[in-house]
Structure 1
Amino acid sequence: MIPPPLPPRRNPVATFFVGLWDVMNFTRRLILNLLFFGLLFLVLLVFVAALGKGSGVKPLQERTTLVIAPEGRLVEQFSTDPVSRAFARAVGDSSAEEIQLRDLLRAIEAAKQDKHIERVLLQLDKLQPSGMASMREVAKALAELRASGKQLVAYGEGMSQGQYLLAAQADEIYLDPMGSLLLEGLARYRQYFRTGLQDKLGVDVHLFRVGEFKSAAEPYILDAASPESKEADLYWMNDVWQRYLADVASARGLDPAQLGAQINALPESIEAAGGDLARHALQMKLVDGLKTREEVEQLLAERGVADEDDERGFRNISLQAYLAQVDSRRLPVDKRPQVAVVVAEGEITGGDQPAGRIGGESTAALLRQAREDEDVKAVVLRVDSPGGEVFASEQIRREVELLKAEGKPVVVSMGDLAASGGYWISMDADRIYADPSTITGSIGIFGLVPNFTRTLDKIGVHTDGVSTTRFAGAFDVTRPLDPEVGRVIQAVINKGYADFTGKVAAARGKPVEEVDAVARGRVWSGAQAKERGLVDELGGFGDAVADAASRASLEDGKYRVRYIEKAASPFAQFVSGFAGTRIGGVLLHDSGLARAALARTMPETEAQLRFVENALRDRNGAPVKSLAYCFCGL
Structure 2
Amino acid sequence: AAQFPDKLHPPSLSLLSSLVSTARAWPMEFIRKLGSRGRTGLAIVGGLTIAGQYATYKQAQNNKAKASKDRVLQLDLTMQITEAAPSVWDEVVNSQRPPMSLKQVVDAVEWAASDPHVKGIVCTQAGDAPLSMAKMQEIRDAILSFRSDQAEPRRPAVFAADTFGEGGQGTGHYYLATAFDKVYLQPTGLVGLVGIHSEAFFLKKLLAKIGVQPQFLAYFEYKNAANMFTQEGYTKEHKEQVVKAMGSTFGQIVGGIASGRGLDEGKVRGVIDDSPLTAKVALERNLVDGVKYHDEVLEELGVSKDCPVQDLSKYHKEQEKARNKKDNGGQKVAKLLSELRGKPAGEDVVACVVAAGNVVRGRGHKNDMGAARVIEAVRAAVKDDKVKAIVVRVDTRGGSAVASDTIRRELEVARGKGKPVVVSMGTYAASGGYYIATGADRIIAQPGTITGSIGVVLGKFTLSALYEKMGIDVGEIEMGKQASSQSSVHPWSEAQLETARGIGLNFYNDFVGHVAKARNMTKLQVDSMARGRVWTGEQAFDLGLVDSLGGLKDAHRIAADLAPELKGKDKLAPLVIYPKKKTPIQELAHAISGKLDDETPQASLSLAFFEGIFEEFAIVSEVLSAFRALRAEAGSGHAEYRAFGGGG
Amino acid at match of 1:317: Q
What is the match of residue 157 of structure 1? 162
Note the alpha carbon deviations across 1:282-341, whole angstroms, 9 max, x for none. Answer: 3432212211223223333xxx3632xx8xxx5333213322331233143552211111
Amino acid at match of 2:79: G
Assess if the C-alpha contact under 8 Å between 2:108 and 2:312 holds in 1. yes
Amino acid at match of 1:88: N
Q: Quick check: 1:61 aligned with 2:65?
A: no
- The number of aligned residues is 513
Matches within 5 A, 1:252-271: 252-266=261-275
Q: Could you tell me how far 1:550 is from its partner in structure 2?
A: 1.3
Amino acid at match of 1:177: P
Assess if the C-alpha contact under 8 Å between 1:175 and 1:278 holds in 2. yes
Q: Which of 576, 579, 604 is equivalent to 1:565?
A: 579
What is the match of residue 227 of structure 2? 218
Q: Quick check: 1:240 aligned with 2:254?
A: no
User: Within 2, Cα distance between the matches of 1:478 and 1:51?
Assistant: 69
Assess if the C-alpha contact under 8 Å between 2:381 and 2:387 holds in 1. yes
Amino acid at match of 1:350: R
* Pair 1:224–1:117, CA change in 2 (3 A): same
Amino acid at match of 2:494: P
TM-score (norm 1): 0.75
Q: Could you tell me how far 1:103 is from its partner in structure 2?
A: 1.3
Helix, strand or coil for the counterpart of 1:448?
Answer: strand
User: Within 2, Cα distance between the matches of 1:465 and 1:305?
Assistant: 72
Q: Quick check: 1:358 aligned with 2:369?
A: yes
Deviation larger for 144-153 or 509-518 = 144-153
What is the match of residue 288 of structure 1? 289
Q: Which of 235, 238, 258 is equivalent to 1:229?
A: 238
Amino acid at match of 2:78: E
Q: Could you tell me how far 1:466 is from its partner in structure 2?
A: 5.8
What is the match of residue 146 of structure 2? 145
Q: Could you tell me how far 1:462 is from its partner in structure 2?
A: 4.9
What is the match of residue 126 of structure 2? 125
User: Within 1, Cα distance between the matches of 2:125 and 2:189?
Assistant: 13
User: Within 1, Cα distance between the matches of 2:579 and 2:84?
Assistant: 9
Amino acid at match of 2:91: R
What is the match of residue 570 of structure 2? 556
Note the alpha carbon deviations across 1:386-428, whole angstroms, 9 max, x for none. Answer: 1111111111111101101101111111122111000011112
Helix, strand or coil for the counterpart of 1:67?
Answer: strand
* Pair 1:572–1:409, CA change in 2 (3 A): closer
Assess if the C-alpha contact under 8 Å between 2:557 and 2:572 holds in 1. no
Note the alpha carbon deviations across 1:174-232, whole angstroms, 9 max, x for none. Answer: 1111223311222232322111111x111111011111111011111112222211110
Assess if the C-alpha contact under 8 Å between 1:355 and 1:566 holds in 2. no
Q: Could you tell me how far 1:70 is from its partner in structure 2?
A: 4.3
Helix, strand or coil for the counterpart of 1:436?
Answer: coil
* Pair 1:158–1:565, CA change in 2 (3 A): farther
Helix, strand or coil for the counterpart of 1:158?
Answer: coil
Note the alpha carbon deviations across 1:426-470, whole angstroms, 9 max, x for none. Answer: 112111111222111000111121101222233455556564555
What is the match of residue 544 of structure 2? 533
Helix, strand or coil for the counterpart of 1:330?
Answer: helix
User: Within 2, Cα distance between the matches of 1:371 and 1:127?
Assistant: 42
Q: What are the ranges of 5 or more consecutive residues in structure 1 without an aligned counterpart?
A: 1-43, 271-275, 585-634
What is the match of residue 486 of structure 1? 497
Note the alpha carbon deviations across 1:115-140, whole angstroms, 9 max, x for none. Answer: 12222222233584432122112112
User: Within 1, Cα distance between the matches of 2:587 and 2:216?
Assistant: 45
User: Within 2, Cα distance between the matches of 1:278 and 1:462?
Assistant: 63
What is the match of residue 555 of structure 2? 544
Deviation larger for 409-418 or 167-176 = 167-176
Q: Which of 298, 311, 318 is equivalent to 1:318?
A: 311
* Pair 1:144–1:486, CA change in 2 (3 A): same
Q: Could you tell me how far 1:501 is from its partner in structure 2?
A: 0.7
Helix, strand or coil for the counterpart of 1:281?
Answer: helix
Helix, strand or coil for the counterpart of 1:169?
Answer: coil
Amino acid at match of 1:378: A
Note the alpha carbon deviations across 1:330-369, whole angstroms, 9 max, x for none. Answer: 1435522111111111211111135664101111111111
Matches within 5 A, 1:393-472: 393-459=404-470, 461-463=472-474, 467=478, 470-472=481-483
User: Within 2, Cα distance between the matches of 1:469 and 1:68?
Assistant: 60
User: Within 1, Cα distance between the matches of 2:470 and 2:588?
Assistant: 53
User: Within 1, Cα distance between the matches of 2:450 and 2:66?
Assistant: 43
Q: Quick check: 1:506 aligned with 2:517?
A: yes
* Pair 1:558–1:288, CA change in 2 (3 A): closer
What is the match of residue 93 of structure 2? 87
Q: Which of 341, 364, 384 is equivalent to 1:373?
A: 384
Q: Could you tell me how far 1:66 is from its partner in structure 2?
A: 2.2
Helix, strand or coil for the counterpart of 1:77?
Answer: coil
Helix, strand or coil for the counterpart of 2:145?
Answer: helix
Assess if the C-alpha contact under 8 Å between 1:77 and 1:356 holds in 2. no
Deviation larger for 278-287 or 524-533 = 278-287
Helix, strand or coil for the counterpart of 2:352?
Answer: strand
Assess if the C-alpha contact under 8 Å between 1:125 and 1:163 holds in 2. no
Assess if the C-alpha contact under 8 Å between 2:88 and 2:583 holds in 1. no
* Pair 1:178–1:360, CA change in 2 (3 A): same
User: Within 1, Cα distance between the matches of 2:58 and 2:202?
Assistant: 59
Q: Could you tell me how far 1:384 is from its partner in structure 2?
A: 1.3
Assess if the C-alpha contact under 8 Å between 1:72 and 1:128 holds in 2. no
Amino acid at match of 1:162: G
Assess if the C-alpha contact under 8 Å between 1:62 and 1:115 holds in 2. no
Note the alpha carbon deviations across 1:116-173, whole angstroms, 9 max, x for none. Answer: 2222222233584432122112112212222332222221112333222332122222
Deviation larger for 168-177 or 475-484 = 475-484
Note the alpha carbon deviations across 1:468-509, whole angstroms, 9 max, x for none. Answer: 555443542113432321111111111111111111112222
Deviation larger for 157-166 or 336-345 = 157-166
User: Within 2, Cα distance between the matches of 1:474 and 1:358?
Assistant: 26
Assess if the C-alpha contact under 8 Å between 2:87 and 2:581 holds in 1. no
User: Within 1, Cα distance between the matches of 2:439 and 2:588?
Assistant: 40
TM-score (norm 2): 0.73
Amino acid at match of 2:490: R
Amino acid at match of 1:173: V
Assess if the C-alpha contact under 8 Å between 2:88 and 2:584 holds in 1. no
Helix, strand or coil for the counterpart of 2:202?
Answer: coil
Assess if the C-alpha contact under 8 Å between 1:74 and 1:129 holds in 2. no
Amino acid at match of 1:54: K
Deviation larger for 422-431 or 140-149 = 140-149
Q: State the superposition RMSD in angstroms.
A: 3.0
Helix, strand or coil for the counterpart of 2:512?
Answer: helix
Assess if the C-alpha contact under 8 Å between 1:73 and 1:129 holds in 2. no
Q: What are the ranges of 5 or more consecutive residues in structure 2 without an aligned counterpart?
A: 1-46, 165-169, 332-344, 590-613, 626-648
* Pair 1:281–1:396, CA change in 2 (3 A): same
Assess if the C-alpha contact under 8 Å between 1:379 and 1:409 holds in 2. yes
Assess if the C-alpha contact under 8 Å between 2:425 and 2:446 holds in 1. yes
* Pair 1:62–1:458, CA change in 2 (3 A): closer
What is the match of residue 98 of structure 1? 99
* Pair 1:374–1:456, CA change in 2 (3 A): same
Assess if the C-alpha contact under 8 Å between 2:171 and 2:196 holds in 1. no
What is the match of residue 116 of structure 1? 117
* Pair 1:111–1:341, CA change in 2 (3 A): same
Note the alpha carbon deviations across 1:250-277, whole angstroms, 9 max, x for none. Answer: 11111112111221233xxx5xxxxx63
User: Within 1, Cα distance between the matches of 2:417 and 2:128?
Assistant: 41
